Structure 1
Amino acid sequence: MEFLTDELLDRIHSRAATHDSTNTFPSDDLDDLRAAGYLSAFVPEQYGGAGLTLPEIAAEQTRLAKAAPATALGINMHQIIVGLGRHLVRHGNPRGEIILREATKGELFGFAISEPGNDLVLFGSITQATPDADGGYSFTGTKIFTSLAPAWTRILTFGRDDSDPDAPQSVFAILNREDGGFTIKDDWDTLGMRATQSNSTILEGAHAPESRILTRTDPGPSKDPVVFGIFSNFEILLGATYQGIGERAVEVAAEHVKTRRSVKNQTTYANDPDIRWRIAEAALAMNAVGPQIRELANDIEHGVDRGPLWMPQLSAAKNASAEATLRAVEQAIRACGGSSYYNSHELSRLYRDALAGLFQPSDQESLHGAWANVILGPIEK
């Protein structure tokens, strides 16, 4: 079943530079992806979707990112939440059906987890979650990097319930855009990934009834299906998206050096051993990324239990993809020379988009800390 046809990807690619330069949301891309059925492609067939597996949707995200990285990263957040819905249903939490059924009906899911200055990210919130008398919650706080800000109709968020000071809880919920209780700031003026329009969202008592509360769980790394479902889909699909950027950089560089001529050598740069080495180095960096992502995605899909290694290994795969992509784009730029320094060159945009991988969790500091704990045990006090 083909959703992202070559024709569709060419059309999306043709618009990417304009959305980047004008700092605008790709509403036209979203319309095309919705019409192609891509928003429900990851939904299981029994809920009205196409039933793509995690490895399959990851591969599609890589293809989409090669066409338009920012469009892919934005839609990635929707696919992560659909993946969470799949994970919840598989693990006996019927609230996952809310996500799956609404995605099939055309709802677009945003992702409001990150907070300014909070390096706990998914493992602890500084947003206040205030319970009501009926099991629902109101959320008050600031969320940053909320992709799809102009267009989402549903958003996943979480906050901290301190009503029992001895047992604080992380509360995860789905909010409806039409219910209000939030303000979206016009503050997305960034180096790259501009078309995602990941504006800050100010939650001002935004309310979720009990029926839309996904879980209440202890803060911190957790086996709770909601926490692990978000984490696993996020890291795999993020890695797959950055993979597309790195692979596209190799393609662009290869095309460029076949036409760029050397005055000194009187031949194209594709025949220069040093240039060939650089492009091969970029391709080698990316060659190691896909197998990691596919292996992890297959294990998630088939319910393999990696125990305490799961989260460190998921973080490692995302980090490997982001770092390899940066390396590949840099080598591609070096191979193509000064023309790639102009904003009109696709590599300029790919380089700026690739830098976003530095900021998305898990970052290198938390990754190395997690692996040090695995190998050496916790720091002795």
Structure 2
Amino acid sequence: MEKLDRMGVRLTFFILIVYFTAVSGLSGQSLQGKIYDKETEQPLDGATVYFDGTTALTITNDEGFFTISGNGNSSNDLVISYIGYTTYRISNPFAYSGKAMKIYLYKSETKLDEVVISRSPFSRKQLLEVFRKQFLGESKAGKSCEILNEDDIDIYYDVSNNTLNASADNALRIRNNFLKYEVRFDQLEFKLNYYTTSIAAFDIRRSAYAGSTVFIDLSKNGAADKKRLKSYLGSSAHLMRTISNNNNWESQPFSLFVGDSKINPSEYFKVTDTLNVKKIRLIKVPKAMKIGKDGVKTMEKTYFSVFYKNADFSGMEFVAPEILVDDNGNYAPVYGVVFGGYLGSLKAGDLLPRDYYESIKDIINK
């Protein structure tokens, strides 16, 4: 999205796409099956099987067998990952509950590095430094992160469209020393587009990244609980839950503005129940007065301004007319809402499991 100005603050909107195909009800069921090499039909020992975006993970045994429990997680994709093989995804996996699945993985095609005709003006060291800041973020959590297999990152700068591109054939292993998770980020796709041939943060036009995630809990005896709760409060998931529950906004820590006017969200959003999730429909486009150079006043489309506890300013724009939100605050389509300011600055280093709210809802609702 284009950069916007408010109170002298220049904002860049970011899109984070952590793959998921649905927001739906809960399940305590288990799944089981076997993983094989497609060519040899031999079982794959040590393949990683997980529910995307959660802490539910298991490893296949020497016969390629796995069993994994939903553990109350929403029906996220089931992801099967193995080094040297193409990652396999199963949408709506509990449709196969009660059946022993047989899953075949294909070996990844060997890729030759693309020959870049135009010489990049930036070194790999410079590009990796930018990648760390823009992918992990510069919050306390983001700065605490270490990428344990950074050599697996393929990164280059395309001067023809001023875009920094990064990808990885193997899952990135990110140790979050603040939130005490190891995050496996699979199928990484990352792009930073700039206004000009630059890698300066101020020149970023838009940023987007995508992938599958699984969280390995490194915390002992709840040592990271307070930090995780603090990271959730004021997050986009917290905000989307607040909007979708249509609560009494006077008692909420969030406040919404259009221009300089505080708004009643019910004038702009209609919330309905559908398929065990909430549907948020934009019923009124936010507009603010703009004074042209000739002094003529016009009403033009703008973005929502969001404040958390009268601080932490964010910009929010609804790109899609309707958004589905589950009870954890996950929303679809993932490109349907973009954020700038504080929420736009939160990156992969601030990610929590998508089922995190289930573990703290009793605290939140007291």
- TM-score by length of structure 1 reads 0.23
As a proportion of its length, which structure holds more helix? 1
- TM-score by length of structure 2 reads 0.24
